[in-house]
Chains A and B, each alone.
Chain A
Amino acid sequence: MRILKLKKKDLKKFLESISSFGELWAPVKKGNRWAFQPTAPDNIDLDAGRTILPLKKFMVPQKFTMFKYNKEGYTPELSNIPSRIVFGAHPCDIAGLNILDKLFTENFPDPYYIERRKKTAIIGLSCLPDEFCFCNETGTDTVEEGFDLFLSETGTDFYLVWIGSSLGDDLMRMAENLFSEDIAFEDIQKFTNWKKERAKKFKVNIDLTGMPSIFELSLNSKIWDKIGERCLACGSCSMVCPTCNCYDVKDTVELRECKGERNRCWDSCTLHEYSLVAGGHNFRANRSDRLRLWYTHKLESFIGAYGKPSCVGCGRCLVTCPVDINAYTLAKTLREEEVFFK
């Protein structure tokens, strides 16, 4: 992996130089929050906080057409996927993408995901935590892979730029003269100092060590009933979670002609219909069962299968759940037996 230097004042020039690759998307203010939107290099908000939806919307859009069919057969909708540059992806979100990569490209490769991943250039940007971030606890405050380029703050007038892929190298070469390899020892020190300062800024006091055992021991805890009573089953937590990836498939048919399309849309295990099977049997009919599934999947089973939680500490569940059920309150409740949910 190569690491180069880019002067902060040259960032705009760099983004302009690579515009031929595809449309530029970056966090744009939406009310009090941010959302990845198409934007111009002039309007980049370098201090943007977490976006409402994570990067998954680029790789697995909320709703998309898989193929259209008629009497002759069907054609997959793969040719019209646009090339995009996504600027300003935070480390936790890139860590989320790395988890989706495992799920969508390894055992059961998903052509729709793979094609979109290929056509989306990810330019990461380091960030400072707000009062809801806990990526320090999930080990996702730094990412080593999953991006094409990654720009890290150094607290000075330049970024350190990691080149994470051959596409990233190609993009860098589109404006090679803006980058320099001249990295002095003091530059490295400035970077490590900045990281030390950042580490002091985390405020969420969450402890995830030993979580799998705590979940295993708490499977029959009454806490789940309390949480189920409170949960509105609105599905918001899983919609905004960077690693939730369940989807539903539905066909739409034309009224008169013999043709139609097959569509995919985000689904969630917290919703009633998710575990409904033929004959009307629902093996997770209660909200408490479904929430337990959601959280044990994130913080227990995933660790068993992949060695790490599928929670990346982005804090979205903390700012999204209207009734304050999230990784933080849950971990605290299970660990301290403090009944958060009266």
Chain B
Amino acid sequence: MNPEDRKTKQLPKVGIYGLTSCAGDQLTIVNCEDQILDIFGSAEISSFLMAKSDNTEGEIDVAIVEGSVSSKGDLEMLEDIRKRSKVLIALGNCACNGGPQAACVAAEDHKERMKQVYGDVKWSLPDPIDAKPLSAYVKVDMQITGCPIDKWEFLRALGRLVKGDGPIPISYPVCVECKYNENECLLFKNEMCLGPITLAGCNSVCINHNIPCFGCRGAVIEANVAGEAEMLVNMKHPQFPDRKNFDYQDVKNRAMMYGGNTMAELLDKAKVKGAKK
């Protein structure tokens, strides 16, 4: 919001949309029961199909888009939203990284995969294409990732945006928050934890419950995927000789579950000993 608007108390216009996904991130917003009135009071929510019926599709200040681009229909919708919004936020892992539907981006041709799974069928839906994050097609101004998103991260970002400030992006890995929570490191307990290469913001919720990180928030900036894979697959820790190693394919499968194109490229560059092509 620019300072002039703020003086006249004109609320910024916000549209919340969903492409291909489970809609769990929009649901997380709707589930902010204690803050929902503040959300609707702080901005003019012009479109939010999951939460309201009188939606209008015009010029907006902030577009918040969940889901991956998985069909030509998705792409048309995204391009239209981008054209009429000043700021576009990718919401959730699917929008930021492609989601689990992009787990096979590094594998063979998309058409070939479709044929393997569904056989020769005629599509009644808009043409399916390889699942990709929003940033593969349009300019994305900010990402709020996670599966699902962390509601507090969303509320903090929205709070700053509606008051005219830029949100503060997170740039450190899950390990930092995991140490805040004084957890015992699962990498020393023979778990395949992706904490060191995964973007934080989840308050290390899985590790707090003794579950290793699956990387649902996508790769952290400068993720040392080669180092992580090398550690999991080949490294013998001289001071913890009992720590076991993992099969490269298992590590790759886990990293690709939520990692999308970014992780595929990083793994490809990693050249880990023991990796089969």
Contact = CB atoms under 8 A, between A and B. Distances in A.
B-side interface mostly: helix
A252 B231 contact: no
Nearest to A340: B238
A256 B171 contact: no
B151 interface: no
Contacts of A53: 179, 182
Nearest to B197: A232
Contact of B227 (A62, A229, A253, A254): A229
A322 interface: yes
Interface in B184-241: 184-185, 187-189, 195-197, 220-222, 224, 226-228, 230-231, 235, 237-239
A323 B42 contact: no
B113 interface: no
Contacts of A231: 224, 227
Contact of A266 (B162, B180, B189, B195): B180
Nearest to B230: A230
A53, A235, A273, A324, most chain B CB atoms within 10 A: A235
B28 interface: no
A239 B58 CA distance: 47
B55 interface: no
A235 B172 contact: yes
B27 to A, nearest CB: 19
Interface stretch (A26-34, A116-124, A156-164): A26-34
Interface residues of A, number: 44
Interface residues of B, number: 45
Contacts of B73: none
Given A132-B239, A256-B38, A323-B235, A233 B173 contact: yes
B185 to A, nearest CB: 7
Contact of A271 (B162, B168, B176, B183): B176
Interface stretch (B15-23, B63-71, B85-93, B153-161): B153-161
Contact of B41 (A63, A234, A240, A255): A255
Interface in A284-319: 287, 318-319
A52 B207 CA distance: 15
Interface in B160-175: 160, 162-163, 165, 168, 171-173, 175
22 contacts: A30-B184, A229-B226, A231-B227, A232-B175, A235-B172, A236-B185, A239-B179, A254-B38, A254-B159, A255-B39, A255-B159, A256-B42, A260-B159, A266-B180, A268-B176, A272-B171, A272-B221, A273-B172, A276-B171, A287-B222, A318-B239, A324-B235
Interface of A: 30-33, 35, 51-53, 57, 62-63, 131-132, 229-236, 239-240, 250, 252-256, 260, 265-266, 268, 271-273, 276, 287, 318-320, 322-324
Given A230-B227, A272-B221, 11 more contacts: A31-B189, A32-B184, A232-B175, A235-B176, A236-B175, A253-B159, A253-B163, A272-B220, A273-B171, A318-B239, A322-B185
